[in-house]
Structure 1
Amino acid sequence: MESALPNSPPVPSSDIDSRIHADLVTLIITTSPTPSAPSTELLDQILQSFERHCPTLSECRVILVLDTYDRVGSASRLKKGQVLPEGAACFEQYKENAKRVILEHYSRNSENLNDDDGYNSSAPDLMSVSYAEAEYGADTYHQTTNAANLTITRTQDHRITFIEPAQRIGFGLAVRSALRLATTPYVWIQQHDWSLVSDIPLGPLLDLMIQQQRFSSSSPSQDPEDLSSHNTLSVPIKYVCFPSVRMLSYAISAHVRDFAALRALTNLYKGTFSPPSSTSQPKVKIPLTPLFFWHDKPHLAETEHYLAQVFPNRLAMPRGGFIEDTVGQRARDEMKSGLWRKWACWLYYPEEGKKLCVRHLKGRTWRGTEAEARKKVEWLRSFSEDKDQKCFNTLDNLGPLLIPLHQIAPC
């Protein structure tokens, strides 16, 4: 009989509700200045997609990181930390709006729940405040303080946490700061402009990851480059990404087929996995294929693995950096060299990679429903006026060539 590993959480029985699974995962949402601010429409769409396609994400612990900007300029360059004056002016209001949205959504199952209207406005007064740092870069010189100050606000039950950096830290350090506060074995990383468009079997996925963690930990060590010694029971599943438009049919894309080692791994491990289940519910099959990159888009991952692999030290992530632009490239190079099991990245692969699961909402350019509607009306009006003017100009140019009707001889 298999003994439980000391660091392995128990696999919930399938007749236990999603609350058990919710206690295994922390949702980490990162947000930053966006043209749609101070509106929270982006966050609203994400939370609505959770309700439709993965309700467990509305029941778990949540950490919202509210990153800021570096400077104000005449052009918007959000990836570089530059915002327009109007973006800077409304950012504080956006942060307050975003925190309220999260409190209202996630307080439903907390001690701050008000039976009358579902949200207790006094909840913010019951929150505790602490401080931390997000260090980065070299610390060779003692007079150099490469660290950003963080203000951390939490509800009394620690189910809702807000992290507010005093200076811009970027997506990578935002994720690391939240991971350090997570107390669950797994995390779901969510950028503020990606929504779910298909159902996600989060509970079975968590069960599968726990099962594979046990099998891989209890199996004898294997040569990562010797594929003949591997089997699907012992293969680790530490990271699961969800397919966007560009990742459809990934297993047969150029990202895989152009590299012999990656093709071999795909042929060996791609398939459907069976997480533990009870006889009270139908057995769930989880389709997965090896993924040869560490993406920033929505993903589920093991917390300790994330910290060890992506953030082994303060030099791993520069301030303002993105994981896929830095660590993602290094991870892919190592995977090509036969170290895929070290990263243990997978892609959820329903319908043989033909089913879309997440959609990008383009937060860097989208201005919100009303602003986008006004922009469309202005464009249509401008197009119509321009078209009319071109017609008038054409008639003016053709005027001397037109023959009056009374000068045309009858047939």
Structure 2
Amino acid sequence: MAPGVLTTSSLLTIIITTSVTPSAPSTELLSLVLESFRRHCPLLLNCRVIIVFDNYDRVTPTARLKKGCVTSEQAADYVLYKQNVKELFLRQYYQDSENVVFSQIEAKAEYGSPGDAQNVVNLIALQSHDKKVTFIEPARRLGFGLAVRSALRMTETPYTWVHQHDWVLLSDFPIDPLLEIMRASELDEEAPIKYVCLPAIRMLSYAVSDAVMRFPALRELTSSLKRDLSPASQPDIKVPLTPLFFWHDKPHIASTAHYLARIFPTGLAIPRGDFIEDTLGQRARTQMKEGLWTKWACWLYYPDEGKQLCLRHLNGRAWPGSEREAEKIARLRQQPEE
């Protein structure tokens, strides 16, 4: 590679958020994520990665993971899970994974009113000597929104791929051409490309769905902006995009600076424990319907006119892992028929 040439790894950081799941301490969920990268977008494995281990709020007799409540068994499993995940990623990124040198960084995640000293979560980040791998562990639960912001603040690349731990890629994704297209659009006042979401099952045929067609302004924008784009260095490659009128949490690529400016302008933007799409995502859609789409500049990757699926959701809050699932099925088969 010639000096000064921008590569995917110099442009993009991967942020992966994870938390307590029924499948812990197994790393099967994240192993499936990495395998899907390897199969469908191997360049991602050359990029720096930041893994955020979100915490829980309390130990209770019954788990309510979305509310930050875990059982004592899950809390113990999570300690093992974090260590297992660290080993998984170090093996992925380093040949001599046992001798990687880390620096420790202390940080804070503030939220809510700045006048309340309680509205701060302390963070410890372990970062490898070459910054390829960073692990962030908060002292309290952050929620997806603040977990992403904490990682973005440590991101040094102009673009970020945000990935929750229970989504896997199902089809090839043109990350290199897309990044070149995004960079070329930075000065485009009419159609900047600041955020690109990958399509999941409910987003198929999005451009002709009710989410678009019921609103004249969104129909008009889609008609004028939906297009196939080609990077200057690879004119034969076509990257199909259509305007997206929402900011989704599911896997996406975004400008790092745009992310921080639009989603996290102040500590009041995202409450602790919340998802981005449940708060700012709704506000973004409202503003887009009012004519402010370029403020958010959201797009959807749209292969085969929106008929090609790119993501599968594994539902990490419910999935126990293949081993425990097999054990459950075996127990059910052993039960006598009534």
**Structure 1 segment 6-405 matched on structure 2, within 5 A:** 20-107=7-94, 118-123=95-100, 126-141=101-116, 144-216=117-189, 234-278=190-234, 283-382=236-335, 385-386=336-337, 389=338
Measured on the aligned residues, the alpha-carbon RMSD in Å equals 1.5
In the TM superposition, what whole-angstrom CA distance separates every residue of 1:45-102 from its partner, at most 9, and x where no partner exists?
0000000000111000110001111111222211110112210111111111111111
CA distance in 2: counterparts of 1:187 and 1:166, whole angstroms: 24
Amino acid at match of 1:275: P
Query: C-alpha displacement at 1:377, in angstroms?
Result: 2.3
Task: Describe the SS at the equivalent of 1:277.
Answer: coil
Query: C-alpha displacement at 1:21, in angstroms?
Result: 1.5
Q: Say if 2:38 and 2:45, in contact at 8 Å, map to a contact too.
A: yes
Amino acid at match of 2:316: G
Give structure 1 stretches of 5+ with no counterpart: 1-11, 108-117, 217-233, 390-411
Task: Describe the SS at the equivalent of 1:324.
Answer: coil
CA distance in 2: counterparts of 1:120 and 1:89, whole angstroms: 25
CA distance in 2: counterparts of 1:169 and 1:358, whole angstroms: 25
- Distance change in 2, residues 1:205/1:345 (3 Å): same
Query: How many residues are treated as equivalent by the alignment?
Result: 336
Query: C-alpha displacement at 1:274, in angstroms?
Result: 1.6
TM-score, normalised to structure 2, is 0.96
Which structure has the highest strand share of the two?
2
Q: Which residue of 2 aligns with 1:219?
A: none
Query: C-alpha displacement at 1:378, in angstroms?
Result: 2.5
Query: C-alpha displacement at 1:288, in angstroms?
Result: 0.6
In the TM superposition, what whole-angstrom CA distance separates every residue of 1:127-148 from its partner, at most 9, and x where no partner exists?
110100000010235xx33100
CA distance in 1: counterparts of 2:221 and 2:47, whole angstroms: 34
Give structure 2 stretches of 5+ with no counterpart: none
Query: C-alpha displacement at 1:271, in angstroms?
Result: 1.6
Query: C-alpha displacement at 1:297, in angstroms?
Result: 0.4
Amino acid at match of 1:162: F
Q: Say if 1:277 and 1:283, in contact at 8 Å, map to a contact too.
A: no
CA distance in 2: counterparts of 1:54 and 1:215, whole angstroms: 27
Q: Could you list the runs of 4 or more consecutive aligned residues of structure 1 that deviate by over 2 angstroms after TM superposition?
A: 377-382
Is 152-161 or 187-196 further displaced after alignment?
152-161
TM-score, normalised to structure 1, is 0.79
Is 247-256 or 370-379 further displaced after alignment?
370-379
CA distance in 1: counterparts of 2:187 and 2:27, whole angstroms: 41
The percent of aligned pairs where both chains have the same amino acid is 56
Task: Describe the SS at the equivalent of 2:163.
Answer: strand
Q: Say if 1:61 and 1:159, in contact at 8 Å, map to a contact too.
A: yes
CA distance in 2: counterparts of 1:22 and 1:196, whole angstroms: 19
CA distance in 1: counterparts of 2:97 and 2:302, whole angstroms: 41
